Amino acid sequence: MSDAFGLPSRILLLGGASEIGGAIVARILAEKSADVVLAGRHPDALPTGFHGARSVERVEFDACATDTHEAFFDRVFAGGDIDLVVLAFGILGDQAEAESDPAAAVLVATTNYVGAVSALTHAQQRLAKQGRGTVVVLSSVAGQKARRSNYIYGSSKAGLDAFTEGLQLAAEATGVNVIHVRPGFVKTQMTAHLKPAPFSTTADAVADAVVASLGKGNRSVWVPAILRPVMWLIRALPPRALRSL
């Protein structure tokens, strides 16, 4: 059970290899010991331990194999109540490849949106049955406005944003808090080949912002915070002005 400061005792990280997800877990464990369940396609390649963790369990989870999700969540929740679910899986894909290969575009959409919808729905059902818990959904500011350079990835995050906002409304009466996280460009191994965008951030900075929001009833986290007004302005720009930028 989460303590008075909102820090969890049992954490499920969907996307166990995620640098941002791992940073969130590490940041929590720096303040409180907890049991950690790491879920990923290749569980043997996931971290075997975290400093401060009481236990670390590594389990197989494939975001795209939605037919396996029900059994996965049944198994994980059978091991005890989950206080915090962090959805941190996702792929950038390659825009040029996805434009020429529909299968590549579908893979991005399936992983980032369809897989997330399935996982979040299963998680919400079980947390609601507990009558408590927190879900952290890692999205991206890329979902706020379509850009020529990454509209396939951005569209998958736009879908995730809309779903998460609806999930927050549905969860209001269940005792479950859904925190919607929208970071800007995060400097990780996944983005190392890309030129950092303005207002770039780090996995540790995202983790600090997320953990600071736990237990406070927060629904939306932007990292860095300046991105909230910046994206409001960008969304308000007419298409011609936006293209010129």
Which residues are known to be catalytic?
Answer: 153
23 close to 3: Cβ distance less than 8 angstroms:
no
Whether the upstream peptide bond of residue 198 has omega within 30° of 0, thus cis, is: no
Strands (E), the chain: 10-14, 34-40, 53-60, 84-87, 133-138, 176-183, 186-187, 201-202, 220-223
From the number of C-beta atoms within 10 Å of its C-beta (0-12, 13-18, 19+), residue 46 rates as buried
**Distance in angstroms (rounded) separating the CA atoms of residues 12 and 136:** 10
At CB < 8 A and 24+ separation, what contacts does 96-104 make?
A: 98/152, 99/152
Number of helices and strands in the chain (H, E): 9, 9
Query: Residues near 134 by Cβ (< 8 Å), separated by ≥ 6?
Result: 2, 6, 8, 83, 84, 85, 176, 177, 178, 179, 214
73 close to 133: Cβ distance less than 8 angstroms:
no
